[in-house]
Chain A
Amino acid sequence: MFRLNLKIALRNLWKNKSFTLINIGGLSIGLASCMILLLYVKYEWGYDKQFTNYKNTYIIYTNHDTGTDKTSYAWTPALLAPELKAKIPGVKYASHSSYPEAHLIGNGENSFKTNAVFADNDFLKMLDYKFLQGNPDQALQKVNTVILTATLAKRLFGNEDPINRSVKLDNQDVLKVEAVIADLPKNSSIQFEYLLPWVLFENKNPWMKDAGWQAMICLTMLQLDDEKTFGAASQLIKSIYERSDPKSGNEALLHPLSKWHLYADFQNGKSVGGKISQVKTFFLLAFCILLIACVNFMNLSTAKSEKRAKEVGVRKVIGSTRKMLIAQFIVESFLLTILGLILAFILIEASIPYFNQLLNTDLIIDYTDWTSWTALMVLTLFTGLIAGSYPAFFLSSFEPVKVLKGFGKAGGSSLPVRKILVVFQFVFAACLIICTTVIYQQINYIKDKPIGYNKDNLMEINLVGALQGEGKFKLLKEQLLKTGSVTSVASFSRSINRMGQRAFNISWPGKPKNGDILFNYRFAGYDFIKTIDAGIIMGRDFSANFNDEKNVLLNQTAVKVMGLKHPVGSMIKWGDGNVTIVGVVKDFVIESPFEKTLPMIIGHNDNNSAVAVLRLSPDQNLSNSIAQIDAVVNGINPGFPVERKFVNDNFEEKFNNEKQLGIVANWFGGFAIFISCLGLLGLALYMAEQRKKEISIRKVLGASNINILSLLNKDFIKLVAIANLIAFPAAYVIVSKWLSNYDFRVPITLIPFCAALLISLVIASLTVSIQSVKVAKSNPVDALKYE
């Protein structure tokens, strides 16, 4: 029975090749989209869950009370980890580690600048990386040791055995390779290529020893014995700052490692979500697209109903029960689903490298993992059932006497259902078009918004190695200016587009009690404002003509929040020292361009800066300038590769998240529209079949092809228009909710809505016309003959 069903299903599919093609095509695109999105969701969901005891591992967040609310960050004092391990019962391991930072590591001439983390042995106990060589129990205990990842080991030593070989860190410290670990999975929050011992970190930064409880300099991670101890431990840990440093008003918070990536947003000291909402959206999107594909399938199958009706009647008359018929149609739908699945796999394998590149992920189909197979089975069953259920129940309900007598109106009742299904598809497609348009509008809006300085022709050079030396920056500046390729040079304590360096420790006359405000603080050298071309509102830039050691610049926002009437010349307190304001700068964007600018204070310091900011001369040829700059930098700092970057490029990176979202919405929106159009095509095919006679009669009575065409297309245009009307309010709610995440947002205009209406109408009428032109052109005799 089953075999015969299968055989008949195959013959049926073969006989209606175009239907089969549309069906399988739609299903496979739907399945492929769904699976890629699910893979992405799984990938994001699996963040930091590679480690054996991730469930009992926590990141310590510091909640800082500002008086009005709390800010939270995963930075802690170095003293915290030993304190936790010694005093809190139930703590199995506690580690301090640095955040990943690029350092130069080299084997002779062969050197690379790449991310390193300073950590201790407990770090390795909690994050049990796979050791390819070496012993995890003793690792990171001696000062001059290093653990390499497999890739870095290969880059440094080729195929030679790296163990016990020595490498040089920052052209300074000689370290012995004590272990090699497998490369880290990309969906792990802490990314590095080599691990260095914490003791080395302390040796390199001697001030850290006395830094005390105020200095938030490292990441603290801890692991509890088991889940039961969490309640007691977290209570004790919460007040650990208070016991050690009563003044600070800080609280420690345990945040599960597994939630670190997806729940990174904090409000008032509590986790309030984060990227999880995007992941949830993608999860929903995955099923919506699949559902659209299923709807398609239903539409196409029921459209074929006339052809199948006779078969149903005959089968019933020779003794088939309805159940048996349902079984047969379900078999057919499963067959199609499985064929679609095979095609989907081909599509996925072909497109996954592209998506990985777009989304900067590491998605793979793990063919050895039984969970993914189970998921796949469930997905297939689900699709097969959903897609097959309607045609199965619909077709099997035909009464034999009606269909055998010759077709009357047995199929007529199904049309409203099918129309509703098509409307549903287009509601979804129109929503996606609107969302995509708004995402791109928002990105462009923020990009075009003035950022307060001129980022074109602005270059940064990392000050590393010898460039860090006393007086070397001055030398560099002189030599660069002499080449004529740059018009202005200034030092800055952090790459312009990098976040961080925030503090509360600023007070001013009239500051309310408990009125701590979070400031961005930076240090800049002479001519900084001139170099980046930001506007000075009052006062002056740092200048070599003055002694600016105790002077600071503020930005506009800072002046506003501090409420200073005459900022220039006033004295304020920064940390323990008094400083004088010499200038007020127009706000310029250094953090997220989507958010309001924080108040900023810029101190003066020409040494120990992280970068040199260069304004390139517009008159010079770019490649010439770069060659000259490289020559100068190499002359002063021979051991290091020149690290230069255009500020423009750095700035682009700030849009990565939004661009990613835009790309995903664009692609999958496109797929949704495509699949919906296939559904529409199916409906058009059905309609053409149904109205063949009517059209023939109209033609005989003298209707022209254009008359017929508009008659046929009118109904579909109506459906798509209705779908758009339903989509508009829904999309409006979605985009306004999305936009409310941003401080600066593009106003919602009519453009995206018009775009959706236009795009869907044009695509839909083109699709329908493929079929209706054929019908309109057909010879009326062919249809009338059969009556």
Chain B
Amino acid sequence: MIELKNIEKYYANKGVKSYILRHVTASIKQGEFVSIMGPSGAGKSTLLNILGMLEEPTYGQYEFMGEDITSLNERKRIELYRNHIGFVFQAYHLIDEMTVAENIEAPLLYKKVSGAERKSRVADVLDRFNMVAKKDLFPNQLSGGQQQLVGIARALVAQPSVILADEPTGNLQSAQALQIMDLFKKLNQEEGITIIQVTHSEVNAGYGSRILHLLDGVIKEDVTVEQTV
């Protein structure tokens, strides 16, 4: 599903190139649950941003579902966002002016889903996440964990094939974090959604099926996790 070949990313500053990523080559298949780990400054977030097409690599080739992303235009990219990619952020990034239900509904609006279907899908997701009672609250009226649930619900509602999560539990207490990770695992196993997350936590990484260890922009290790949890 995702093919990275020789991805490089550097910033040139006064002739000095400072590399963020070097020779990153990886292949991620449909249905995998990948955790990207590494110390601060290793390039985890940049790699995720490149995967999410928020940033462009300086060199290298990136194929998403068989399409070469590096030559993709804006319109096509937005199409991918609408249909195949869901983002989950560390800081949730919900829209403050929208209620829970509206936040979840927003991607469907952009996808031009009909009104009736939008309603049923939002209701469905709310139900699954046990948030029906909170649907008319605004983000600032929710706890962090609840906000992240809304964030995931929003990422899910458009039925993407891959979810990209940048430290989804970084701002949460451990109990809430576990809940979120359980949810990810369930989504991965029951619905076959590909999940790629950036995380610092070994525990969280343990929920996934594969870990990419990044150090100074280079993939040091690529291990498959024994499903013990």
Contact = CB atoms under 8 A, between A and B. Distances in A.
A7 B75 CA distance: 27
A417 interface: no
A350 interface: no
B97 A311 contact: yes
Nearest to B155: A318
Interface in B41-99: 45, 49, 52, 54-55, 74-75, 78, 81-82, 87, 89, 93-98
A15 interface: yes
Nearest to B102: A4
Interface residues of B, number: 27
A11 B158 contact: no
A603 to B, nearest CB: 84
A539 B172 CA distance: 108
Contacts of B102: 4, 7
A596 B106 CA distance: 75
Contact of A319 (B49, B89, B111): B111
Nearest to A313: B93
A318 B154 contact: yes
Given A311-B97, A319-B81, A400 B106 contact: no
B107 A319 contact: yes
A320 interface: yes
B19 interface: no
A742 B102 CA distance: 67
A300 to B, nearest CB: 17
A320 B102 CA distance: 15
A315 B109 contact: no
B89 A404 contact: yes
B54 A317 contact: yes
Nearest to A8: B97
Contacts of B55: 401
B81 A317 contact: yes
Given A311-B95, A311-B96, A404-B93, A318 B110 contact: yes
Interface in B103-120: 105-107, 109-111
Nearest to A11: B97
Contacts of A318: 81-82, 87, 106-107, 110, 154, 158
A1 B52 CA distance: 25
Given A314-B95, A315-B95, A320 B54 contact: no
A319 B81 CA distance: 5
A314 B93 contact: yes
A319 B77 CA distance: 9
Given A317-B87, A318-B154, A401 B110 contact: no
Contacts of B82: 318-319
A202 to B, nearest CB: 80
Interface string A317-328: 111111010000
A522 interface: no
Contacts of A315: 95, 106, 110
A391 to B, nearest CB: 16
A311 to B, nearest CB: 5
Contacts of B154: 318
A8 B95 CA distance: 10
Contacts of B74: 321-322
A324 B110 contact: yes
The interface centre, meaning the residue of B45, B75, B82, B96 with most chain A CB atoms within 10 A of its CB, is B96
A1 B113 CA distance: 11
Contacts of A321: 74-75, 78, 110
Contacts, number: 63
A320 B110 contact: yes
A184 to B, nearest CB: 56
Contacts of B158: 318-319
Contacts of B54: 317, 399-401, 404
A12 interface: yes
Interface in A377-410: 399-401, 404-405
Nearest to A314: B93
A706 B78 CA distance: 50
A310 B103 CA distance: 14
A95 to B, nearest CB: 68
Contacts of A8: 95, 97-98
Contacts of A311: 95-97
A1 B97 contact: no
Contacts of B110: 315, 318-321, 324
Contacts of B75: 321
A42 B111 CA distance: 49
A1 B75 CA distance: 19
Interface in A296-343: 310-311, 313-322, 324
Contacts of A7: 102
A695 B97 CA distance: 30
A324 B112 CA distance: 12
B87 A12 contact: no
Contacts of A324: 110
A7 B110 CA distance: 16
Contact of A401 (B49, B97, B105, B109): B49
Contacts of B93: 310, 313-314, 404
A1 to B, nearest CB: 6
Contacts of B105: 4
A1 B106 CA distance: 9
Contacts of A313: 93
B83 to A, nearest CB: 8
A15 B96 CA distance: 10
A12 B138 CA distance: 13
A689 to B, nearest CB: 16
B79 to A, nearest CB: 8
Interface in A24-78: none
Contacts of A399: 54
Interface string A678-700: 00000000000000000000000
Nearest to A320: B110
A314 B94 contact: yes
A12 B78 CA distance: 26
Nearest to A10: B97
Interface string A81-93: 0000000000000
B107 to A, nearest CB: 4
A310 to B, nearest CB: 6
Contacts of B98: 4, 8
Contact of B109 (A4, A15, A404): A4
Interface in A150-175: none
A708 B41 CA distance: 36
A5 to B, nearest CB: 10
A12 B109 CA distance: 19
A287 B130 CA distance: 56
A569 to B, nearest CB: 94
A345 B96 CA distance: 33
The interface centre, meaning the residue of B82, B93, B94, B102 with most chain A CB atoms within 10 A of its CB, is B93
B49 to A, nearest CB: 5
Given A317-B87, A318-B110, A400-B54, A12 B81 contact: no
Interface of B: 45, 49, 52, 54-55, 74-75, 78, 81-82, 87, 89, 93-98, 102, 105-107, 109-111, 154, 158
14 contacts: A4-B109, A8-B95, A15-B96, A317-B52, A317-B81, A318-B110, A319-B78, A319-B110, A319-B158, A321-B74, A322-B74, A400-B54, A401-B49, A404-B54
Interface of A: 1, 4, 7-8, 11-12, 15, 310-311, 313-322, 324, 399-401, 404-405
Given A401-B54, A401-B55, 13 more contacts: A7-B102, A8-B97, A311-B95, A314-B95, A315-B95, A315-B106, A316-B81, A317-B54, A318-B106, A319-B110, A319-B158, A399-B54, A404-B93
In order of increasing CB-CB distance, the 3 nearest A-B pairs are A319-B82, A319-B110, A401-B54
